[in-house]
Amino acid sequence: MFALIRTYEGLSVENLDEATRKANAGLRTILQESPGFVSYELLKHEGTDGKVASISVFDSRTEAQASNETAQKWVRENLPFMTKPHETAGELVSH
């Protein structure tokens, strides 16, 4: 399995709430329909205002990379206030 973590920073409370709501309602549904989908989670960083991370897990690197392009397009179209994320990716070695 392969995971992608996208971390967004500098969000206001209102933007963070909107991003969370829209991602749960919209992006999650799209990713669930993607080949190789395993899970999608959102993480609000504890003790850090304005920072959220999405964690996507797919069966393979190829499927994860394809989903990343889908997610980036969706964020640009639905959450234009989001900054460019810091991305981390890698094979899950224990789960």
Per-domain boundaries in the chain? 2-91
The whole model's pTM is what? 0.85
* pLDDT tens digits for range 7-18: 988 888 888 888
Contact partners, residue 92, CB within 8 Å, separation at least 6: 1, 2, 3, 57
Per-residue pLDDT tens, the chain, 95 aa: give them: 999 999 988 888 888 888 888 998 999 999 999 999 999 998 887 776 788 889 999 999 999 999 888 888 998 899 888 888 899 999 999 87
CATH number of 2-91: 3.30.70.100
At a CB cut-off of 8 Å and minimum separation 6, what does 59 contact? Answer: 1, 2, 36, 38
